[in-house]
């Protein structure tokens, strides 16, 4: 059995994907800053005034919506969606393996258990997170955000109270969830082969891909 | 104040009324008739009853709706309680209303103390309306004594807001349309349906609503309403405080029957949960990063 790992540099992150990623990053920072300033307007910790926060939050939210629709369409037509389709065989054990790596092996200098492959560039935990973020978190955030932007479309009452309350709560929780994701995402970008290798791949699009599956 | 459609009706009615009045004489009216308001409403009950004031050329509405009167707080009163004398001959242009302000009837009257008419009158005298045109403005410039009904606890906020704002709009929509004067206000129509003009155009924070301020002093700080200590608590919702608060754990849930107000109707536990989740994540990744840094140093040294 040949145990030698062959690698090859491949363009795994095409320009459209990188453009969406970095635009999204910028929009999310605007949305987060302004969203915090709106929700906690009286806290004294806000970075942006209420009126400015509202304008930028709305504009960034609309841009995020357009960007999301473009991403979903392009992700599907380009075939990039294959990276988002879980391989259910041994799925849970691979998740545990990856979690064990992050929790234990990474401190022992061990190699990544699931190197990047042409057919699967995400590790199992990464894939699960991205699927949840892209196909659950973002749509929830966008739909509730649009209803808050156009409250006349929201139900008049939910559980005997003004309908917007539940929409606002879900929007807030989705925002918190995606903020947690953002922090972890930025941190996990430093656990590649080097501190900056993952960052570089999202700038250049090129990734060193393992040709032989070591599993 | 007439709508355009109503103005046309009144113009027609004015012609009819002029002919009618020239022929009328109320001297036949007996005391028992007057106790039923019947002789007055025979003419004034007509929807289009009015006349064109020669000095100004403007239509003056003289109509009193029986339906409005029946639901008004003054429904038990007789016309002659306030309109004393001078009406026997018609037309009666010299007739003068005996009561020009609410205080003339309510100042010392027992049982009305809770309406604080004296305090309200004092506030009114600080209003921009009174200061600018003391002769032209009195209680009835805004409050129609023939139709007015105090809002009661339990009235739908949307109705309270609509009726209150209509009083302002009767004059101000002609002077300067709301869309122009409030172009700076996001979701203007939504605000207009949800809160009264008075919330932002009277002293803050205070429950006083009759000391209407000049437009330039109107509230423009969004956070005045969109905060835990919202001014909406001291004005629009002051009578609802203490009734069903903290519904489902929400702060200021008193307003949630009708509306969700960003920054005001908040959930303390969810606010803390959000901050805790973010703080925990930052702490977690920081600890993980420090752990990696130490393990790498240890690996290099060994």
Rg (CA), chain B: 29
| Rounded Cα distance, B273 and A196, in Å | 32
Alpha-carbon distance values, A58 to A44, A136, A158 (Å): 22, 21, 24
Q: Which residues of A touch B262 (CB under 8 A)?
A: 38-39, 41, 168
pLDDT in tens, B73-119: 888 888 888 887 777 777 777 666 767 778 877 776 677 777 888 88
Most B CBs within 10 A among A46, A104, A183, A192, hence the mutation to make, goes to A183
> Does residue B111 sit within a domain?
no
pLDDT in tens, B117-126: 888 989 999 9
| Domain end among B98, B116, B149 | B98
| Rounded Cα distance, A47 and A5, in Å | 49
> Does residue B60 sit within a domain?
yes
CB A61, CB A145: distance < 8 Å: yes
pLDDT of B1 reads 43
Average the pLDDT over B272-280 and give the result.
97
The neighbouring-strand residues paired with B61 are B50
CB A7, CB A150: distance < 8 Å: no
Most A CBs within 10 A among B232, B281, B284, B299, hence the mutation to make, goes to B281
- Pairwise CB contact (< 8 Å): A109 & B295: yes
- Pairwise CB contact (< 8 Å): A161 & B277: no
Interface of A with B in 65-94 (CB under 8 A): none
| Rounded Cα distance, B219 and B213, in Å | 10
> Does residue B6 sit within a domain?
yes
Average the pLDDT over A19-34 and give the result.
97
Range of the domain at B82: 1-98
Q: Which residues of B touch A164 (CB under 8 A)?
A: 259-260
Average the pLDDT over B178-202 and give the result.
91
**H or E stretch at B31:** helix B31-34
| Domain end among B62, B83, B98 | B98
Size of interface A-B (CB pairs under 8 A): 93
CB A210, CB A3: distance < 8 Å: no
Average the pLDDT over A87-109 and give the result.
94
What are the residues whose beta carbons fall under 8 Å from the beta carbon of B164, sequence distance 6 or more?
A: B196, B197, B198
Nearest to A64 by CA among A31, A32, A34: A31
Average the pLDDT over B11-26 and give the result.
52
| Rounded Cα distance, A181 and A174, in Å | 10
Comparing B243 with A164, which gets the higher pLDDT?
A164
Q: What is the ipTM of this complex?
A: 0.91
Question: Is B34 a residue whose pLDDT tops 70?
Answer: no
Comparing B84 with A207, which gets the higher pLDDT?
A207
**H or E stretch at A11:** strand A7-11
Comparing A191 with B5, which gets the higher pLDDT?
A191
Nearest to A191 by CA among A83, A105, A82: A105
> Does residue B253 sit within a domain?
no
CB B58, CB B52: distance < 8 Å: yes
Most A CBs within 10 A among B161, B185, B288, hence the mutation to make, goes to B288
The number of C-alpha atoms within 13 Å of A89 and in the hemisphere containing its C-beta is 0
pLDDT in tens, A28-72: 999 999 999 999 999 989 999 999 999 999 999 999 999 999 999
Q: Among B257, B281, B282, whose Cβ lies nearest the Cβ of A161? A: B257
> Does residue B217 sit within a domain?
no
Q: Among A102, A109, A161, whose Cβ lies nearest the Cβ of B299? A: A109
Lowest-pLDDT choice from A166-170, B29-33, B41-45, B134-138: B29-33
Domain range list for chain A = 7-210
Question: Is A171 a residue whose pLDDT tops 70?
Answer: yes
The number of C-alpha atoms within 13 Å of B208 and in the hemisphere containing its C-beta is 20
The number of C-alpha atoms within 13 Å of A12 and in the hemisphere containing its C-beta is 22
Confidence of residue B245 (pLDDT cuts 50, 70, 90): low
Question: Is A207 a residue whose pLDDT tops 80?
Answer: yes
Question: Is B268 a residue whose pLDDT tops 80?
Answer: yes
Most B CBs within 10 A among A57, A61, A107, hence the mutation to make, goes to A107
Domain at A7-210, CATH class: mainly alpha
> Does residue B93 sit within a domain?
yes
Question: Is A172 a residue whose pLDDT tops 70?
Answer: yes
What are the residues whose beta carbons fall under 8 Å from the beta carbon of A103, sequence distance 6 or more?
A: none
- Pairwise CB contact (< 8 Å): B186 & A54: yes
Tell me which DSSP letter residue A161 carries. E
**SS3 (DSSP) at A151:** helix
B278 in contact with A, Cβ within 8 Å: yes
Nearest to A197 by CA among A115, A133, A96, A84: A115
pLDDT of B22 reads 47
Lowest-pLDDT choice from A205-209, B12-16, B87-91, B137-141: B12-16
Question: Is B16 a residue whose pLDDT tops 80?
Answer: no
How far apart are the CA of B155 and the nearest CA of chain A, in angstroms?
A: 16
pLDDT in tens, A121-147: 999 999 999 999 999 999 999 999 999
Rounded to the nearest angstrom, the gap between the alpha carbon of residue B288 and the centroid of all alpha carbons in its chain is: 58
pLDDT of B5 reads 56
Interface of A with B in 165-204 (CB under 8 A): 165, 168-169, 172-173, 175-177, 179-180, 183-184, 187, 190-191
> Does residue B81 sit within a domain?
yes
Tell me which DSSP letter residue A5 carries. P
Token digits for B143? Answer: 């409050």
Tell me which DSSP letter residue B25 carries. B
Alpha-carbon distance values, B140 to A8, A165, B96, B137, B147 (Å): 86, 39, 14, 8, 11
How far apart are the CA of A23 and the nearest CA of chain B, in angstroms?
A: 23
Domain count, chain B: 2
3 state SS for A57-125: HHHHHHHHHHHHHHHHHHHHHCCHHHHHCCCCCCHHHHHHHHHHHHHCHHHHCCCCCCCCCCCCCCCHH
pLDDT of A68 reads 97
CB A209, CB A7: distance < 8 Å: yes
Question: Is A199 a residue whose pLDDT tops 70?
Answer: yes
Long-range contacts of A156-160 (CB under 8 A, 24+ apart): A159/B248, A160/B257
Q: At what angle do helices A164-188 and A124-132 cross, to 10 degrees?
A: 150
| Rounded Cα distance, B134 and B48, in Å | 30
| Domain end among B98, B132, B156 | B98
Token digits for B30? Answer: 């007996």
> Does residue B172 sit within a domain?
no
A51 in contact with B, Cβ within 8 Å: yes
| Rounded Cα distance, A119 and B224, in Å | 55
Question: Is A102 a residue whose pLDDT tops 80?
Answer: yes
CB A12, CB A205: distance < 8 Å: yes
Average the pLDDT over B226-243 and give the result.
82
């Amino acid at each position: 059995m040949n145990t030698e790992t062959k690698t090859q540099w491949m363009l795994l992150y095409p320009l459209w994907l990188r453009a969406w990623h970095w635009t999204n990053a910028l929009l999310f920072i605007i949305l987060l800053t302004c969203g915090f300033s709106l929700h906690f307007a009286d806290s004294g910790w806000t970075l942006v005034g209420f009126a400015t926060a509202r304008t930028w939050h709305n504009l960034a939210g609309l841009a995020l919506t357009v960007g999301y629709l473009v991403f979903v369409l392009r992700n599907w037509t380009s075939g990039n969606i294959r990276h988002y389709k879980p391989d259910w065989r041994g799925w849970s054990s691979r998740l545990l393996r990856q979690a064990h790596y992050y929790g234990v092996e990474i401190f022992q200098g061990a190699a990544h258990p699931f190197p990047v492959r042409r057919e699967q560039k995400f590790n199992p935990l990464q894939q699960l997170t991205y699927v949840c973020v892209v196909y659950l978190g973002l749509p929830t955030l966008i739909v509730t955000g649009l209803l808050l932007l156009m409250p006349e479309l929201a139900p008049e009452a939910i559980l005997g109270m003004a309908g917007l309350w539940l929409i606002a709560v879900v929007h807030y929780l989705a925002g918190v969830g995606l903020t947690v994701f953002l922090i972890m995402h930025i941190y996990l970008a430093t656990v590649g082969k080097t501190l900056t290798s993952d960052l570089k791949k999202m700038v250049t699009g090129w990734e060193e891909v393992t040709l032989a599956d070591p599993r | 104040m007439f709508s355009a459609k109503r103005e046309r009706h009144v113009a027609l009615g004015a012609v009819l009324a002029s002919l009618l009045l020239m022929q009328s004489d109320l001297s036949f009216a007996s005391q028992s008739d007057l106790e039923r308001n019947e002789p007055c409403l025979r003419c004034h009950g007509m929807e289009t009853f009015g006349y064109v004031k020669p000095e100004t050329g403007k239509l003056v509405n003289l109509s009193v709706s029986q339906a409005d009167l029946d639901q008004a707080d003054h429904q038990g009163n007789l016309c002659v309680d306030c309109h004393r004398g001078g009406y026997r001959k018609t037309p009666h242009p010299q007739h003068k209303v005996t009561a020009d302000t609410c205080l003339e009837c309510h100042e010392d009257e027992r049982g009305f103390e809770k309406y604080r008419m004296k305090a309200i009158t004092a506030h009114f005298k600080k209003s921009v309306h009174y200061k600018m045109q003391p002769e032209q403005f009195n209680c009835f410039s805004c409050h129609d004594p023939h139709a007015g009904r105090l809002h009661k606890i339990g009235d739908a906020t949307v109705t309270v807001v609509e009726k209150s704002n209509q009083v302002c709009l009767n004059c101000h929509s002609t002077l300067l349309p709301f869309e122009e004067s409030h172009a700076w206000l996001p979701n203007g129509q939504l605000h207009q349906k949800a809160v009264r003009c008075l919330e932002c155009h009277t002293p803050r924070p205070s429950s006083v609503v009759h000391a209407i301020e000049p437009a330039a002093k109107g509230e423009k700080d969004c956070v005045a309403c969109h905060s835990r200590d919202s001014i909406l608590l001291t004005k629009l919702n002051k009578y609802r405080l203490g009734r069903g608060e903290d519904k489902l754990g929400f702060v200021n849930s008193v307003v949630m029957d009708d509306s969700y107000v960003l920054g005001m109707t908040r959930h303390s536990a969810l606010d803390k949960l959000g901050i805790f989740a973010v703080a925990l994540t930052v702490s977690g990744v920081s600890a993980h990063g420090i752990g990696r840094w130490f393990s790498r140093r240890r690996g290099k040294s060994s």
